[in-house]
Homo-oligomer: A and B are copies of this chain.
């Protein structure tokens, strides 16, 4: 009795997944093969919570628990894993074990999974399952990655315009048994051309013998299969959608996208932008291996090192000036650094506005003008503060003027580059988040050193 109670308390993944002690005791249960406990754990928890726990275990341990689940639970857990763990698990299972798992997946999940594993294994799996399913997956694999065609599931509820509400409900019931998240009934003509949709709740309100065509909402949010996923996410956000139809070139419905996938995309795209702007080249999560992390960061550090050497060689042009007035060596990083800070601010705002779609090549002029005005005003302010500080604390008028003008010039350069480089990269098809900051801070470093030391050299006699 006592044991049972303890088991019940510790069986909750949600409550315990973040506790290192609990995880350790869980590992121990696996080690001693306490299958009673583990089965109770699997039974009691949501697949997302189970997945969270398994991701924190050794791969061997995770695999042991995973094998204890039935195939339905296995598929629910599998889709929650990150890509590395998914691929690893699949490689440990033989085809006869995989088939029942993947057959429970929705087509988008299945396609996603197949695209991540080795070609041979993928082929083997596709040959082992129902032929209709596999031909569907093969078709979906032909769409470009990160487009609507890859995101969609092909399970959706639809009815013809000429159907009665009664008939539509019968069609809906059939599909409702297969798939879980149905929010809309799509309405098409007899050739599957999309005509609109009906919200499920409106079906409840309608008389059973009414024609479906009369209930249709005409604002159709149909998405072409080749639309980029970022664009798809924008459409969902703008129109507050829960589900949208995907159509082929002839405007015939071939699938639908649901909002839960969009939520993940918005989160992932934001993460990607944040990491790229911070100089980390690819998604890096807590469980990314140290070697992968190092590889992803080292490349940017080496590029930055090259840029720093460029900036340093600018400084070395002015060795004589520095020699005769060594205070300049202490002040020069201030001018360079402030340009970098102001440039980073401009880039951040512009890159974010590009990502959310507020800024595009057509209205770029507005953003550019704004950044320039901000650059001039912030340049005057920061230049004045620096100049006054030099004047009052060091009592040097000429040096105060040199730092004022150098700071002003560098902050204007930072603004101009910060506003234009991200847009330029975007037009060239390069992700502005990944490369903007390198260009801008290198330039503000070099220009900052050059401008400050150059002016100082010109007015060396007065310093």
Contact = CB atoms under 8 A, between A and B. Distances in A.
Interface of A: 18-20, 46, 48, 52, 169, 172-173, 176-177, 180-183, 199-205, 219, 236-242, 259-260, 262-264, 266-267, 270-271, 273-275, 277-280, 284-286, 290, 293-294, 297-298, 300-302, 304-305, 308-309, 311-313, 315-316, 319, 322-323, 326-327, 329-334, 336-338, 341-342, 344-345, 347-349, 351-353, 356, 358-360, 362-363, 366-367, 370, 373-374, 377-378, 381-382, 385-386, 389, 445
A319 B181 CA distance: 70
Nearest to A46: B219
Contacts of A202: 176
A243 B260 CA distance: 11
Nearest to A241: B260
A286 B374 contact: no
A386 B183 CA distance: 59
Nearest to A377: B294
Contacts of A204: 169, 172-173, 176, 200, 203
A1 to B, nearest CB: 25
30 contacts: A18-B360, A18-B362, A19-B362, A20-B362, A173-B204, A176-B205, A182-B200, A242-B242, A242-B260, A263-B266, A270-B273, A274-B277, A277-B277, A279-B348, A285-B353, A285-B358, A286-B367, A290-B373, A298-B381, A298-B382, A301-B342, A301-B345, A301-B382, A304-B338, A305-B386, A315-B333, A322-B326, A323-B323, A329-B329, A333-B445
Contacts of A239: 46, 48
The 6 closest A-B pairs by CB, nearest first: A278-B348, A270-B270, A240-B260, A329-B329, A315-B330, A308-B334
A201 B219 contact: no
A183 B304 contact: no
A404 to B, nearest CB: 13
A315 to B, nearest CB: 4
A341 B301 contact: yes
Nearest to A273: B274
A101 to B, nearest CB: 18
A263 B280 contact: no
A313 B390 CA distance: 13
A107 B303 CA distance: 52
Contacts of A337: 304, 308, 311, 445
Nearest to A407: B305
A262 B264 CA distance: 11
Contacts of A177: 205
Q: Is the interface of A mostly helix, strand, loop or mixed?
A: helix
B200 A172 contact: no
A320 to B, nearest CB: 8
Contacts of A363: 18, 20, 286
Given A260-B242, A305-B385, A349-B284, A271 B374 contact: no
Max chain B Cβ within 10 angstroms of own Cβ: one of A293, A316, A345:
A345
Contact of A280 (B241, B284, B345): B345
Contacts of A259: 242, 259-260, 263
Contact of A327 (B279, B316, B381, B382): B316
Contacts of A270: 266-267, 270-271, 273-274
A236 B263 contact: yes
A376 B458 CA distance: 43
B382 A286 contact: no
Contacts of A290: 370, 373-374, 377
B382 A302 contact: yes
A71 B53 CA distance: 51
B263 A293 contact: no
Contacts of A278: 277, 344-345, 347-349
Nearest to A296: B345
A356 B319 contact: no
